Amino acid sequence: MPKGKTITIRVSEDTVEEIKGVCSNLGDSYNFNQFVNQSLSAILEVINHDGESVPIPKFAMMARLMRNYEESVFENGGMNNGGKG
């Protein structure tokens, strides 16, 4: 595991509740700390981007896809049939 530092951030109670709600919607994929850590990394990725169009952070796209997925999309879309269910 990479070496890390512990930090304390202060956010509004509404924000904490919203993040907890998002994490619970994503199931076991994210806990609160992972969500905050990956969010900070995503912000840095956007800030450090050199191109004209600002990228959508990969973390946010993955979280959105995970939130909106339906099991039926993945059930028959395995590697054996080229993803065509």
Q: How far is CA 16 from CA 11, 21, 33, 36, in A?
A: 7, 9, 11, 10
Stated pTM of the model: 0.57
The predicted-structure confidence for 4-24, as pLDDT tens digits, reads as follows 888 888 989 998 898 888 888
Q: What is the DSSP letter of 54?
A: P
The predicted-structure confidence for 30-65, as pLDDT tens digits, reads as follows 788 888 888 888 888 888 888 888 878 887 787 777
